[in-house]
């Protein structure tokens, strides 16, 4: 990335923040509270970090209006300091622009349409009848399959594989090693052996999405696997065939989602969660990390499905007690039946 110097007053105007202090201060980079240089701007999103401002070497800070008295530094005031920081970082550390054109080592298939403003990197392969949109970037060693569509301003970083007929929406970023459109895990069993079911659907990814490194999204068995606009997927996620992920959903690393699951809009799923197939998760739901979801969630809310951290000795005790629950339930049921037999006219037990 390159770096851009800007006055604090100009930065305030561009990110929609209120300026308090020296607007002529020149900001050259973003930094952390602990390690920022004097020409950097930092941010404080939570009050618990305000004490660190007394020791920071940063030249300016982004924080909430109510927290302004916490420091004499020049400051930008915004109700959402983290979002304001994201915009500031994009301005101060813009991506290196790509030079349009097709590298001599790239291979372009018959009938492929590559926009004149697109960039195709070294040893990339664009198969027949694929379409590469305006200002799109196809990184080195990436492969775009037959009749696939890469939207305007989309970016495949390097070693990305897009299978035939799949669609990547405008401004979507796909990171290294991702595989979009491999066959779903579709098998029929007969006579103790497996018969492969042809996977004839596609993967269709919307606009403004981000697909993490080594994430895999399987093509639909018949209909398409759908990733709606502004979905953010972390690294090493597996999404099975015929899933639908609603717009603005964010999923952390190492999550596994089995086939035909439907995830709503604005859902948050923590790292290493496991989602069974053929279920639904409603809009605005939060699934905590390492949670296993085995059936449809009927109402939005926050759901956890794992033990909190315990000392190993205590964990072993709790685990042994859980194993005894079925036996305990059976004993309780036996006692209830015995009590009813002794007092049959007393109605329901409390």
Write the pLDDT tens digit of every residue in 15-62: 999 999 999 999 999 999 999 999 999 999 999 999 999 999 999 999
106-116, pLDDT tens digit by residue?
A: 999 999 999 99
pLDDT for 109:
98
Ordered per-residue pLDDT tens for the chain, 350 residues: 667 899 999 999 999 999 999 999 999 999 999 999 999 999 999 999 999 999 999 999 999 999 999 999 999 999 999 999 999 999 999 998 999 999 999 999 999 999 999 999 999 999 999 999 999 999 999 999 999 999 999 999 999 999 999 999 999 999 999 999 999 999 999 999 999 999 999 999 999 999 999 999 999 999 999 999 999 999 999 999 999 999 999 999 999 999 999 999 999 999 999 999 999 999 999 999 999 999 999 999 999 987 778 899 999 999 899 999 999 999 999 999 999 888 766 555 55
What's the angle, vertex CA 190, arms to CA 189 and CA 191, rounded to 5?
Answer: 130
pLDDT of residue 345: 63
Instruction: Give me the phi and psi of 194, to 5 degrees please.
Output: -105, 135
What pLDDT does 234 receive?
98
Least Cα distance to 304 among 288, 327, 319 occurs for 288
Question: 67-89 b/e with 16+ CB inside 10 Å = b?
Answer: beebbebbbbbbeebeebbebbb
Half-sphere exposure for 283 (CA within 13 Å, toward CB): 4
pLDDT (0 to 100) of residue 264: 98
Give the CATH number of domain 101-303; options: 2.160.10.10, 3.40.50.880, 3.40.228.10, 1.25.10.10. 2.160.10.10
Half-sphere exposure of 233 (CA within 13 A, CB side): 34
In this structure, what token pair is assigned to residue 328? 């305990």
Instruction: Verify whether residue 175 is a known catalytic residue.
Output: no
For residue 227, the cross-strand partners are 205, 245
Residue 255 contacts residue 274 (beta carbons within 8 Å)? yes
How high is the pLDDT of residue 347?
Answer: 56
Active-site residue identified among 46, 241, 248, 278: 241
Out of 3.40.50.300, 3.20.20.70, 3.90.700.10, 3.40.1390.10, the CATH code matching 6-92 is 3.40.1390.10
CA distances from 119 to 1, 83, 91, 320 (A): 18, 30, 23, 59
């Amino acid at each position: 990335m390159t770096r851009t110097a800007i006055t604090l007053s100009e930065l305030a105007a561009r990110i929609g923040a209120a300026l308090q202090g020296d607007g002529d201060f020149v900001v050259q980079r973003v930094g952390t509270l602990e390690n920022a240089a004097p020409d950097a701007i930092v941010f404080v999103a939570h009050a618990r970090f305000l004490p660190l401002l007394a020791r920071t070497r940063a030249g300016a800070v982004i924080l909430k209006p109510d927290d302004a008295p916490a420091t004499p530094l020049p400051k930008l005031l915004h109700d959402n300091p983290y979002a304001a920081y994201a915009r500031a970082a994009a301005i101060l550390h813009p991506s290196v622009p790509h030079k349009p054109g097709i590298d001599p080592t790239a291979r372009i298939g018959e009938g492929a349409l590559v926009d004149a403003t697109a960039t195709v990197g070294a040893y990339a392969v664009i198969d027949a009848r694929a379409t590469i949109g305006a200002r799109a970037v196809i990184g080195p060693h990436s492969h775009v399959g037959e009749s696939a569509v890469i939207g305007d301003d989309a970016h495949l970083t390097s070693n990305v594989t897009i299978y035939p007929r799949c669609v990547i929406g405008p401004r979507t970023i796909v990171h290294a090693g991702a595989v979009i459109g491999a066959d779903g895990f579709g098998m029929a069993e007969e006579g103790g052996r497996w018969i492969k079911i042809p996977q004839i659907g596609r993967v269709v990814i919307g606009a403004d999405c981000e697909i993490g490194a080594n994430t895999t999204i399987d093509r639909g068995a018949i209909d398409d696997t759908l990733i709606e606009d502004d979905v953010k997927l972390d690294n090493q996620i597996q999404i099975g065939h015929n899933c639908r992920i609603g717009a603005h959903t964010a999923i952390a690393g190492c999550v596994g989602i089995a086939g035909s699951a439907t995830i709503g809009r604005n859902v948050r799923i923590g790292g290493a969660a496991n989602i069974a197939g053929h279920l639904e998760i409603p809009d605005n739901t939060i699934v905590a990390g390492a949670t296993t979801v085995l059936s449809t969630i009927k109402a939005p809310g926050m759901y956890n499905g794992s033990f909190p951290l315990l000392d190993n000795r205590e964990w072993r005790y709790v685990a042994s007690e859980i194993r005894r629950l079925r036996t305990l339930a059976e004993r309780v049921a036996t006692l209830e039946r015995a009590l009813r037999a002794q007092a049959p006219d007393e109605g329901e037990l409390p």
